[in-house]
Amino acid sequence: DQRSLLLAATLVLDAKSGRNLTFRTEEEYIRSYINYHKVYLRYGLYFFILLDLALALFEKPALPGASVPYWGTMLIEVVCIAFFILRVLHAMKFQEPKIFWKDTKNYMVIGTIVLTVIDMIAYIVWINVAPDTHPVRWSRPLRVLFIINFSDGKQIRRAFRNIRRTVPDILNVLILFMLSVCLFALLAFKLFYKRPNLIYANGDPYFKSYGDAVWDLYVLVTTANNPDVMMPAYNYTAWYAIFFIIYLVICLYIFMSIVLAAIYNNYKKNLKNEVKSAVYSKRQKLIKAFGIVKVDMNGKEAVTPNRWKQLMSVVLPTKSAEQIDLLNKVLDTNGDSYIYRAEFLNLSDLLHVELTEVKDRQTLLEKLMPTIYRSTCSNFLQMIVRHKIFRYAFDLLIFANAFFIGFDVDSADWFFLTIFSLEILLKLYVFGPKQFFQRLWNMFDFFVIGGAVIASLVEFIIGDTISEEFNMLDTLLVLRVLRLFKLFGSIKRFKIVIQTIVNIGPSIVTYGGVIFVFYYFFAIIGMEIFQGLIKDFGYNENDTDVSHLWCGNPKLKDTTFYRLKYCKNNFDDIIKAFVLMFELSVVNQWHDILGGVF
Amino acid sequence: DQRSLLLAATLVLDAKSGRNLTFRTEEEYIRSYINYHKVYLRYGLYFFILLDLALALFEKPALPGASVPYWGTMLIEVVCIAFFILRVLHAMKFQEPKIFWKDTKNYMVIGTIVLTVIDMIAYIVWINVAPDTHPVRWSRPLRVLFIINFSDGKQIRRAFRNIRRTVPDILNVLILFMLSVCLFALLAFKLFYKRPNLIYANGDPYFKSYGDAVWDLYVLVTTANNPDVMMPAYNYTAWYAIFFIIYLVICLYIFMSIVLAAIYNNYKKNLKNEVKSAVYSKRQKLIKAFGIVKVDMNGKEAVTPNRWKQLMSVVLPTKSAEQIDLLNKVLDTNGDSYIYRAEFLNLSDLLHVELTEVKDRQTLLEKLMPTIYRSTCSNFLQMIVRHKIFRYAFDLLIFANAFFIGFDVDSADWFFLTIFSLEILLKLYVFGPKQFFQRLWNMFDFFVIGGAVIASLVEFIIGDTISEEFNMLDTLLVLRVLRLFKLFGSIKRFKIVIQTIVNIGPSIVTYGGVIFVFYYFFAIIGMEIFQGLIKDFGYNENDTDVSHLWCGNPKLKDTTFYRLKYCKNNFDDIIKAFVLMFELSVVNQWHDILGGVF
Ligand code: NA
């Protein structure tokens, strides 16, 4: 019947996409579940999460010139929250209450929503009653929880789960590492604190308290204050250098390697288990689907050709009868058109294989104007474009372009832009858009050249400068140099390396998402705590306003922070906060940056 | 006969120790080969290599106060070289000339010897004819080649061979990485060089030439100038920060990870091949030895019990007949006392198993004074020392000791030293020296407490100060804090981590040897080129000698190098050069250190 067919098809699709939600099996709830995964609802969720996160750009402390009254951002936030509530209610509808209320994810989402609503109301009251007491929107860091806890953020949630599971595994190594640093610090403290003439080059006290010693040696293990932390002692006597060398060999090279190896191995182990359980759950879904559509054939269970067609017409509504028949033939190993259990279990992998019909392979132009496309002239053109000499010629042109860019001959640029645009048009004509955009380099080419054409036109029409800080010539320049990166794609020996990078792309994106969650969380907290402490007034020597000196904070007088012109490394808007977080992540000079903030 | 027995025994020992030299099979040559591996000749070689390398301490530029006339070090070098020549002649004697002259190692050693002799003669002529023209002993960096190319430096040679084999494998990644840096540098150069108001915080030009751009971005990829290299552009407009962030994400995080992964994987692959071929050659040697001693037994080949005894009496001359019989029983699987081929192939692994007889397990005291050792009183003492409460009590004492050290109560130290010495004596009495020193922590304990006892006595007798720079109280302090590290050994959760570190110990030592080879090679070259350029006169403000300012080099006026008091980071003796190399290896600030040297 209709219901069981729908159920089986949904299970097959769940197995294909690796979805893991459970749902009640009445038709009404199945349909609700199918709707829940509708593309527009999923992208709607992504959009509202992004919108919610983007509010930080406009809330105080906002980007310069982007400040909006609090009720403006709050109105948008209400809309986002409303969508989230609808989404949760939708999920509640098709799930068994027992299962829904057993899932931590749901508690996290509902909790975050409740806290946000409380915070918003509290803030409105607070800002109207006592606006001078620096009202705080304390729920804002929690917004990133929506990324992790809505069921669509599967990859990032998995990464977080792995991190959570990896921490206890490496705890022993970490504790031992910390204790070693503390013991070495005790040694350094005892050795150096009694010598009054040991001071840092800038006059700072040198290992004068145990806390300082632990901090300095911890910074050393990140290499950030090497060799400065050693120099005073080394200048006193070369013997003391031995201490620092032994410390670095043990705590940086040996210990850090073991910590990293432990993290790597445990993370890999946890990831393996995740993959295993994903494969298992996929299998379970297919077995369940098979159980629904199978027919008992003299003791052997199988899906009949007829039921196959019914099932597939729900799973793949856009495919033709021939294609569905083809899938049957691929799965069927003994040629009787019946799909047995073992064969059925390959279905989810098969659904990932792209099937195209011959008529799909024709380009759009070929379909629209077959006579012109297949004329002698057009055929000759196609032969040229497909020839490898055509490719070599354009590689050579990029190479020539590199020289023109290197020697600043801008006048030739129109020529190169025209010829490269022509290349793209020719390839589009010959290969058709579908085949053209399947290659990543073509996509890259299209955006770089297309962008350059648009930027050139804008520059030609409305002139160079759009604003003082952002101008078209810079953009053009960037696009022009980016073009040169295409050379890498045409050199054979680099292909495998580039392919590797492309293959690990999804992992990098997931990892980037994890980093984003951390950055956003701490950026918002940092903004609430540190806003206004350090201000960026530039370093104009003609500026006579005393309050503009030393990043607007007299405490920063004579610090490395001010001397290195780090004033812009502050928490005064979310962009600056993110850049600051990134600088800290690169580890170098992090102690000096932090020294300014605190 | 005697010859074939000797040959078979030598092959077995070669298989056991993983030695790979070939030798002629006449008895004279076998004996010569056996002599070649005599312990005193091997350690003699180590000693003379070390002595040869240590000459750098006394040759110009020598350690302060350790300068020796050139003929003094040269005399010692002549002795070292003479030993090396004897060693080579010895190896030539027992090897087939064809095989000897096919081995690159031998060419390297002979070449190094010849070059060194030529250099020594040339130097003597040079220094006597034109002593003012800065005569150069150019062969000195080659001394490290003795470490790698004498057949005893197997582990380090293997590491170098692996590095050599890994380089071509990762060449593509490296080239692509370098090209990316160069292209990003082109982009940065084009973006920034036209803006005259972009300068570094210290006034240095900012991306004003393409070479500068490549250098600055290369330094950035080592993180050493982050975020300083970004700050001028970022202060100009936040848009420029995007460039640096993208650059770091691509070239540091993605590319560097791939480079490191490629190095790691290829190195592992090469190491695996090495181990495989070592196992193969071990097997071949045992097969050859079996072929010599085997007897044909009704078509089955085996080693008779009699031949086994003969063979083993040559292989293990110190073991008793019972032990040799026991080995036979272990190898023999079917109980007929005949060793068949497959059984014989396990011999080399079996020889690595330590065999002790019951009488070996008795402590020395038990053997000397059995009645006292086994008296009721002594038995009671043994029970106490073996009890876990004894261990806990001393762990507690170390913990108490930590507090006394932390709060600077030095008066209690005699108490702790006495009680910990007593602990060691008791353990030595109960377990005997052999069992005691088998545990690494006991060894550690023995040296730390023993050292502290000696240092305390020295301090008590001749007073605190031996020299201005090195004093007994510091040594005592170090030993006292080291004692605390023993706590780690007694905490159960850390045991597996510490065991891991102990297990990878040999690899760390090999890796250390490789690093030493590089350091020594470049340190000597650096000393020849850069000696005297930077001098360390200290930073005494009362020093009115103008030539002592700015590390004795006016070029260093107003540089970061001088401001950070880096003068001692120079090439004026080999110790300073090594410390400098180590600082550069830790990567941080390396560009500033190099900026001073050049
Ligand atoms: Na660094």
Q: What is the pLDDT of residue B344?
A: 87
Q: Residue B202 is inside which H or E element, if any?
A: none
In chain B, residues with a C-beta closer than 8 Å to the C-beta of A248 are: 582, 586
CA distance A34 to A22: 12
User: ipTM score of the complex?
Assistant: 0.84
Residue type, A10: T
Q: Does position B584 have pLDDT exceeding 80, yes or no?
A: yes
Best CA proximity match to A584, nearest among A576, A264, A573, A162: A576
Q: How far is CA A355 from the centre of its chain?
A: 30
Q: Does position A543 have pLDDT exceeding 80, yes or no?
A: no
CB B576 within 8 A of CB B570: yes
Give the residue from chain A lying closest to B209, CA to CA.
Answer: A406
The band of B206, judged by pLDDT with boundaries at 50, 70 and 90, is: confident
B136 touches chain A (CB under 8 A): no
CA distance B148 to B109: 9
Q: Does position B465 have pLDDT exceeding 70, yes or no?
A: no
CB B225 within 8 A of CB A224: no
Mutate to test the interface with A, among B184, B186, B537 (most CBs of A within 10 A): B186
B190 touches chain A (CB under 8 A): yes
The band of B360, judged by pLDDT with boundaries at 50, 70 and 90, is: low
User: Does the distance separating the beta carbons of B226 and A586 come in below 8 Å?
Assistant: yes
Q: What is the pLDDT of residue A116?
A: 94
CA of B311 to nearest chain A CA: how many angstroms apart?
44
pLDDT digits (tens, 9 = 90+) for B305-352: 888 888 888 888 888 888 888 888 888 888 788 888 888 888 888 888
Picking from B191, B575, B579, the nearest residue to A474 by CB comes out as B191
CA of B232 to nearest chain A CA: how many angstroms apart?
8
Best CA proximity match to A573, nearest among A537, A521, A528, A515: A528
User: Does the distance separating the beta carbons of B493 and A172 come in below 8 Å?
Assistant: yes
Q: What is the pLDDT of residue A75?
A: 93
In chain A, residues with a C-beta closer than 8 Å to the C-beta of B539 are: 235
Q: What is the mean pLDDT of residues B491-504?
A: 81
Best CA proximity match to A30, nearest among A1, A10, A15: A10
Given its phi and psi angles, is residue B565 left (phi above 0), alpha (psi -120 to 50 degrees) or beta? left
State the residue for tokens 């559509």.
A293
pLDDT digits (tens, 9 = 90+) for B43-61: 999 999 999 999 998 888 8
CA distance B491 to B441: 13
Residues pairing with B370 in the sheet: none
- The 3-state DSSP class for residue B357 equals coil
DSSP for B214-229, please give it: HHHHHHHHTTTTTTTT
Q: What are the φ/ψ torsions at residue A336 (nearest 5 degrees)?
A: -100, 10
CA distance A74 to A83: 14
CA distance A577 to A594: 13
CA distance B590 to A227: 9
Residues pairing with B205 in the sheet: B199
User: Does the distance separating the beta carbons of B586 and A227 come in below 8 Å?
Assistant: yes
Residues pairing with A239 in the sheet: none
User: Does the distance separating the beta carbons of A579 and B245 come in below 8 Å?
Assistant: yes
Per-residue DSSP letter, B489: H
DSSP for B508-551, please give it: HHHHHHHHHHHHHHHHHHHHHHHTTTS------TT---GGGSGG
Q: Whole-model pTM?
A: 0.82
Q: Is the peptide bond before A141 cis (omega within 30 degrees of 0)?
A: no
Residues with Cβ < 8 Å from A495, sequence gap 6 or more? A489
Q: How far is CA A377 from the centre of its chain?
A: 47
Per-residue DSSP letter, B387: S
pLDDT digits (tens, 9 = 90+) for A325-354: 888 888 888 878 888 888 888 888 888 877
In chain A, residues with a C-beta closer than 8 Å to the C-beta of B263 are: none
CA distance A314 to A1: 13
Across B94-98, B161-165, B560-564, least confident range: B560-564
Mutate to test the interface with A, among B231, B563, B590 (most CBs of A within 10 A): B231
CB A228 within 8 A of CB A588: no
CA distance B219 to A510: 28
Q: What is the pLDDT of residue A598?
A: 56
Best CA proximity match to A280, nearest among A507, A18, A99, A103: A18
Best CA proximity match to B137, nearest among B47, B54, B56: B56
Number of CB atoms found within 10 A of residue B208's CB: 16
- To the nearest 10°, report the CA torsion of B440, B443, B449, B450: -170
User: Does the distance separating the beta carbons of B568 and A470 come in below 8 Å?
Assistant: no
The band of B455, judged by pLDDT with boundaries at 50, 70 and 90, is: confident
Q: What are the φ/ψ torsions at residue B109 (nearest 5 degrees)?
A: -65, -50
Q: What is the pLDDT of residue B52?
A: 93
CB B131 within 8 A of CB B90: no
By residue count, chain A amounts to: 598
A551 touches chain B (CB under 8 A): no
CA distance A548 to A203: 26
User: Does the distance separating the beta carbons of A186 and B405 come in below 8 Å?
Assistant: yes
pLDDT digits (tens, 9 = 90+) for A80-123: 999 999 999 999 999 989 988 998 889 999 999 999 999 999 99
Q: What is the pLDDT of residue A559?
A: 75
CA distance A57 to A64: 9
User: Does the distance separating the beta carbons of B201 and A469 come in below 8 Å?
Assistant: no
Q: Does position A207 have pLDDT exceeding 90, yes or no?
A: no
Per-residue DSSP letter, A250: I
Handedness of CA B495, B497, B503, B508 (dihedral sign): negative
User: Does the distance separating the beta carbons of A586 and B239 come in below 8 Å?
Assistant: no
CA of A201 to nearest chain B CA: how many angstroms apart?
5
Q: Does position B382 have pLDDT exceeding 90, yes or no?
A: no
CB B338 within 8 A of CB B305: yes
Q: What is the pLDDT of residue B122?
A: 92
- To the nearest 10°, report the CA torsion of B93, B96, B98, B104: -60
CB A537 within 8 A of CB A517: no
Q: What is the mean pLDDT of residues B353-368?
A: 68
Across A545-559, B96-110, B120-134, B317-331, least confident range: A545-559
Q: How many CB pairs under 8 A join A and B?
A: 178
In chain B, residues with a C-beta closer than 8 Å to the C-beta of A493 are: 172, 175
CB A309 within 8 A of CB A250: no
User: Does the distance separating the beta carbons of A564 and B239 come in below 8 Å?
Assistant: no
CB B73 within 8 A of CB B139: no
Measure A75 CA to ligand 1 centroid, in angstroms: 45
Q: What is the pLDDT of residue B231?
A: 84
Best CA proximity match to B538, nearest among B525, B552, B527, B524: B552
Number of CB atoms found within 10 A of residue A123's CB: 17
User: Does the distance separating the beta carbons of A478 and B565 come in below 8 Å?
Assistant: no
On the 0-12 / 13-18 / 19+ scale of CB atoms within 10 A, A155 is middle
Q: Is the peptide bond before A227 cis (omega within 30 degrees of 0)?
A: yes
How do strand B339-340 and strand B300-303 relate by DSSP bridges? antiparallel
CA distance B528 to B519: 14
Q: How many CA atoms lie within 13 A of B103 on its CB side?
A: 19
Handedness of CA A481, A485, A486, A492 (dihedral sign): positive
CB B214 within 8 A of CB B193: no
The band of B358, judged by pLDDT with boundaries at 50, 70 and 90, is: low
The band of A54, judged by pLDDT with boundaries at 50, 70 and 90, is: very high
Q: What is the pLDDT of residue A355?
A: 66
Give the residue from chain A lying closest to B512, CA to CA.
Answer: A249
CA distance B410 to B407: 9
CA of B42 to nearest chain A CA: how many angstroms apart?
29
Strand arrangement, sheet containing B339-340 = B295-297, B300-303, B339-340
B183 touches chain A (CB under 8 A): yes
Q: What is the pLDDT of residue B466?
A: 55
Q: Residue A401 is inside which H or E element, if any?
A: helix A388-406
In chain A, residues with a C-beta closer than 8 Å to the C-beta of B558 are: none
User: Does the distance separating the beta carbons of A500 and B238 come in below 8 Å?
Assistant: no
Biggest distance spanned by C-alpha atoms of chain B: 97
The CA distances from residue B301 to B10, B291, B292, B341, B345, in Å, are 21, 9, 11, 7, 13
CA distance B468 to B334: 72
Measure A226 CA to ligand 1 centroid, in angstroms: 8
Q: What is the pLDDT of residue B80?
A: 94
B259 touches chain A (CB under 8 A): no
CA distance B423 to B452: 14
Give the residue from chain B lying closest to A468, CA to CA.
Answer: B237
